[in-house]
Amino acid sequence: MSSRVVVIGGGICGLATAHRLVRAGLPVTLLEASDQLGGLGTFFSSQDRWVERFYHCVMPSDDALLALLDEVGLTDGVGWRPTRMGMVVDGVHRSFNSALDLLRFTPLSLADRIRFGVISLLLRRLGKGKDLDRMRTEDWLRGLYGDKVWSTLLAPMFGAKFGSAFGDVPALYLWQRLGRESNDSVRGYPAGGYKSVIDALRASIEAGGGEVRTSAPVSRVETAPDRVLVTLADGDTIEADHAVSTVPLPALRGIADEDLARRLPEVRLPYQGVVNTLFFLRKPLSGHYWAPVLRSGTDFDGVIEMTPLTGTERYGDRHLVYVMRYTDRESALYREDDASIAERWTEQLLSLHEGLAPEDVDEVRVFKAPFVEPVYPLGYLSQRPAVEVPGTRLMLATTAHVYPNVTSWNSSVELANSVTDLLLRDARRSSTQENTAWPAESAR
Ligand SMILES: Cc1cc2nc3c(=O)[nH]c(=O)nc-3n(C[C@H](O)[C@H](O)[C@H](O)COP(=O)(O)OP(=O)(O)OC[C@H]3O[C@@H](n4cnc5c(N)ncnc54)[C@H](O)[C@@H]3O)c2cc1C
């Protein structure tokens, strides 16, 4: 009997991990707490169509994700389109794409506009060779751009994901993010939506003999030197030779037995959650895929208009707009009930867009997620937890491990690849020691 592996969590990281392990011939059971696979990429039904709860797109530099899509036959199914960016400052919506847009950007003085343009072009190069992991983002950017650009533009624009902690996050994170996006305005979206990717991964796991269980929350994880015991909320216990946990570390701490809890990484990262509201509109908004919203009297600080990227057909000829605010899961906004957020944010969106009338809003939905962005401390490269939990056969593959990469499907797939390599090395070693046969790499 070859090593049984349990993967905890059916987001992209768990799905990619299970897919790889099954392809290597191991018997795998994937356990997902909710009734849907996909984690932060899950979806809901509107007018009999599947729509992502949280906006998602693919970048041309997402090599690991694109390779995975290729493996499950979906590469040609990514539609690429040039997208444009806007910027809403003091209630005024502007285009923010070209040198001309920048020259017209009056919230900054002419000298600051020129400085912004020149530094932005050089920024990636200026960061090379610097220890940006130990440098505060605010110190780095304020020094380069000056106080005015920092406080008027950069802090609110890039700080959205981290809130007031943004200035303290290592500058390396922003540097990596600029590398991923690399001023590239081309973005991609899977032709069948993210659900098609999730379905293809599930099909691949099951075709290879793996088991996928949804509505299967894990309530306890116990480790011994040679096995991992995973107990489900319904009392069922699975004894595994190896396990991979993809659930956020604070959630894993809540289900780890005492011994495992002691072995888990000491670093305790705060996480930002997100409150995100979808608007199905009867008319387009601005045509800008992304527009940060600064000082405009709104609770949300960004607007994503999906339809310039995806078209309207998949939403029943409606235009889809997401507005969002990243916030702590304990904040008053996060705890507020969905109906009042929907009502207030609808008014705020209408106030930002004069051409938009209440009757143009067809449907409003609110979704929240508690663990989205780990707020990395300075020097996190040396504190980043190892994926291996010492003295156990449990491995960790979470968003706390992808740094300095940006949290994204691509980073999760890269992480899944490296964790799988390590696990296969260990499983091969134990199968040699125990003199058991290693499975043929064909169970696909
Ligand atoms: C608003 C928003 C916008 C984003 N935009 C993009 C984008 O444009 N492009 C991009 O690539 N990425 C984007 N991301 C980031 C991306 O979604 C995440 O980085 C990625 O989904 C993380 O995947 P994961 O598998 O590590 O975690 P998750 O997706 O969080 O998966 C973890 C899974 O574990 C399950 N789980 C938790 N506890 C248990 C338990 N006890 N037992 C069993 N299962 C459990 C959860 O239900 C969940 O399904 C965005 C995220 C958000 C929120």
Integer Cα distance of 255 and 229 in angstroms: 12
Distance, in Å, from the CA atom of 360 to the CA atom of 345, rounded to the nearest integer, reads: 15
Q: Under 8 Å CB-to-CB from 365, ≥6 apart: which residues?
A: 44, 46, 53, 277, 278, 342
In 297-429 the beta strands, taken as DSSP E runs, fall at 302-305, 319-327, 361-374, 394-396
Pocket test for ligand 1, best of 20, 40, 59, 272 (most atoms within 8 A of CB): 40
Can you give the residue ranges of every domain in the chain?
5-35+214-269+378-433, 98-183, 270-374
Any alpha helices (H) in 183-290, and if so which ranges?
193-207, 249-255, 258-263
Which carries the bigger pLDDT value, residue 15 or residue 184?
15
Q: State yes or no: pLDDT of 294 exceeds 60.
A: yes
Are 245 and 394 in contact by the 8 Å Cβ rule? The answer is yes
pLDDT, position 369: 97
C-alpha of 418 from chain center: 18
CA 183 – CA 80 distance, rounded (Å): 15
Confidence at residue 444, expressed as pLDDT on a 0 to 100 scale? 33
Q: What number does the ligand 1 atom closest to the CA of 37 have?
A: 49
Non-local (6+) Cβ contacts of 180 within 8 A are 59, 61, 62, 405, 406, 408, 410
What is the chain's length? Answer: 444
Question: Are 265 and 253 a contacting pair, CB within 8 Å?
Answer: no
Under CATH, which number does the domain 270-374 receive?
3.90.660.10
Yes or no: say if 91 and 296 are a contact pair by the CB < 8 Å rule.
Answer: yes
Q: Summarize pLDDT for 12-65 with one digit per residue, the tens.
A: 999 999 999 999 999 999 999 999 999 999 999 999 999 999 999 999 999 999
CA distance 252 to 31: 14
409 CA to middle of ligand 1, Å?
8
Which atom of ligand 1 lies nearest, measured to the CA of 409? 11
- Residue 130 C-alpha to ligand 1 middle, in angstroms? 31
CATH class for the region spanning 5-35+214-269+378-433 = alpha beta
pLDDT classification of 437: cutoffs 50, 70, 90? low
- pLDDT of residue 183 exceeding 60, the answer is no
Distance 413 CA to ligand 1 centre (A): 12
Model confidence at 184, in pLDDT bands (50, 70, 90)? low
127: nearest Cα among 174, 185, 168: 174
**Amino acid, single-letter form, for residue 411:** S
Query: Which helix H or strand E contains 20, and what residues bound it?
Result: helix 12-23
Q: Which two tokens stand for residue 20?
A: 């790889």
Is 405 strand, coil or helix? coil
Spell out the residues 6+ positions from residue 78 whose beta carbon is closer than 8 angstroms to its own: 58, 66, 69, 188, 189, 190, 191
pLDDT exceeds 90 at position 125: no
The pLDDT of residue 433 is 72
User: pLDDT at position 1, please?
Assistant: 46
3-state secondary structure 55-78: CCCECCCCHHHHHHHHHCCCHHHE
Phi-psi region of 53 (alpha: psi -120 to 50; beta: other; left: phi over 0): alpha
312 burial via Cβ count (<10 Å: 0-12, 13-18, 19+): middle
138-161 mean pLDDT = 85
What's the pLDDT tens digit per position in 100-109? 999 999 999 9
pLDDT, one tens digit per residue, over 356-406 is: 999 999 999 999 999 999 999 999 999 999 999 999 999 999 999 999 998
Mean pLDDT value across residues 405-434:
91
Q: Assign 179 a pLDDT band (cuts: 50, 70, 90).
A: low
Asked which of 84-98, 230-244, 348-362 is least confident by mean pLDDT, the reply is 84-98
For residues 80-109, give the mean pLDDT: 92
Res. 2: pLDDT tops 80: no
The Cα–Cα gap between 237 and 27 comes to 16
Give the CA radius of gyration of the chain: 23
pLDDT at res. 180: 65
Ligand 1 atom 21, closest CA: 40
C-alpha distances (whole Å) from 193 to each of 197, 249, 281, 314, 369 are 7, 29, 19, 9, 20
pLDDT at position 257: 95
Share of the chain above pLDDT 90, in %: 77
Q: How far is the CA of 38 from the centre of ligand 1 (A)?
A: 7
Query: Per CATH, the architecture of 98-183 is what?
Result: Orthogonal Bundle (1.10)
Q: Select the more confidently predicted residue: 185 or 32.
A: 32
Ligand 1 pocket by C-beta < 6 Å: which residues? 8-14, 31-34, 39-41, 54-57, 217-218, 246-247, 251, 255, 274, 276, 324, 369, 372, 398-399, 407-410, 412
Rounded CA gap, 86 and 97, in Å?
A: 7
